[in-house]
Amino acid sequence: MSKLILGVDGGGTKSALALFDESGKCINFSTCGTLNHECMPGSFEELETVLPDMVLNVLKRSGAEIDDLAYSVFGIAGADTKGQHKVIADIILKAGIEKFKLYNDAFLGVAAGCPSGVGICAINGTGSTMAALDYKGNPFQLGGMGLFTDDCGGSTWYGEQVIGTVYNALFKKARPTMLTDLFFEHAGFTVKEEYLEELLDKLDSTEIFISDFNRMVFEAASKGDETAMDILRRSAEHYAGGIAHLATDMDFPSDKPLQVVYAGSVFVREKVRILPELIEKRVGEMLDGRSIEFFMLDTPPAAGAVLWAAREAGFNITLEKIKEGLPK
């Protein structure tokens, strides 16, 4: 069998593995649950079982073995620090894969979504992360550590904002908001004095999840709710500030267009476009006079992993060819 390359996009909610041959043909594309150790009850110990199993299953279904892999690229959410990188890299090595590179999954968006292959990826999915690859090939990541990096994005963060906002409106004389009615309707609450205990019970039993309330922010904002708009303004400031910092602190010459790609389920699937509009306006203010191009990722991030793997393996495969072999 021809030598193969493997691209892995390990997200906080779902993951994708793409196996290609040297001609650019997709041999197998598989999806699975999270490959982020932070989202696994068993943390790294669970990842040590799940990740090798997923890779071996993809190879087995394709009639291939580990030795058939010319190169692999892993983009894994939760690979935020040097220590986390080392643990995950050791897991990959234990699986028998020797030729690979490991990135945080945010970097895959740059390769898959920036036409130049150079730029910034802003992820808004289960969590929030920003990553950049500059013209010298330098990588840098912002965020991805929740409270420690004050991440104001990701479906869980928006859900938390809804829960806190509703509590303030009910019990702290905060500004009334339509988020209260949306929250009670979605969760099936009727008695405000007892809803918090019922909410905790439903969360403990996994009947509902905090991220379930994410959509309410965008729905309320689209109807002019100022409280919801404040949440989105805070989120926009978070993303715009990170993008502006990366643009000025790294090698992104001002005479070249800055390319920024949005990725993650909240950005890509959300039909209400208020947040991107707020981000783009604020970035324009912070980088006054700069030419900035914004893109929405329109292909699986795994395409970026496959492209990098192809380059490392010396395979002459274009991003367009890779896109043709992947599901839309």
Output the DSSP codes for 297-308. Answer: --S-THHHHHHH
Q: Are residues 217 and 130 in the same domain?
A: yes
Q: Are residues 155 and 238 in the same domain?
A: yes
Amino acid identity for residue 306 in this structure: V
Cβ-based neighbours of 50, under 8 Å, separated by 6 or more: 32, 35, 40
Q: Are residues 142 and 278 in the same domain?
A: yes
Task: Give, in order, the Cα–Cα distances in Å from 195 to each of 153, 189, 201, 251.
Answer: 25, 6, 10, 51
Whether the per-residue pLDDT at 149 is higher than 50: the answer is: yes
Q: Are residues 125 and 259 in the same domain?
A: yes
Q: Are residues 313 and 207 in the same domain?
A: no
Reported confidence tier of residue 2, pLDDT bands at 50, 70, 90: low
Q: Are residues 146 and 77 in the same domain?
A: no
The first and second tokens of residue 15, run together, are: 């993951």
Q: Are residues 74 and 142 in the same domain?
A: no
The first and second tokens of residue 110, run together, are: 């740059």
Q: Is 264 left (phi over 0), alpha (psi -120 to 50) or beta?
A: left
pLDDT at 280: 98
Q: At 308, which CATH number?
A: 3.30.420.40
Q: Are residues 234 and 116 in the same domain?
A: yes
Assess contact for 217 and 161: CB atoms under 8 A.
Answer: yes
Measured in degrees and rounded to the nearest 5, phi and psi for residue 244 equal: -65, -40
Q: Are residues 142 and 266 in the same domain?
A: yes
Nearest to 209 by CA among 126, 123, 268: 126
The 10s digit of each residue's pLDDT in 83-141 is: 999 999 999 999 999 999 999 999 999 999 999 999 999 999 989 999 999 999 999 99
Which structural domain, as residue segments, surrounds residue 239? 110-298
Amino acid identity for residue 258 in this structure: L
Q: Are residues 143 and 51 in the same domain?
A: no
pLDDT at 1: 47
Task: Give, in order, the Cα–Cα distances in Å from 128 to each of 17, 169, 211.
Answer: 22, 26, 13
Count the domains in the chain.
2
Q: Are residues 259 and 151 in the same domain?
A: yes
Whole-prediction pTM value?
Answer: 0.89
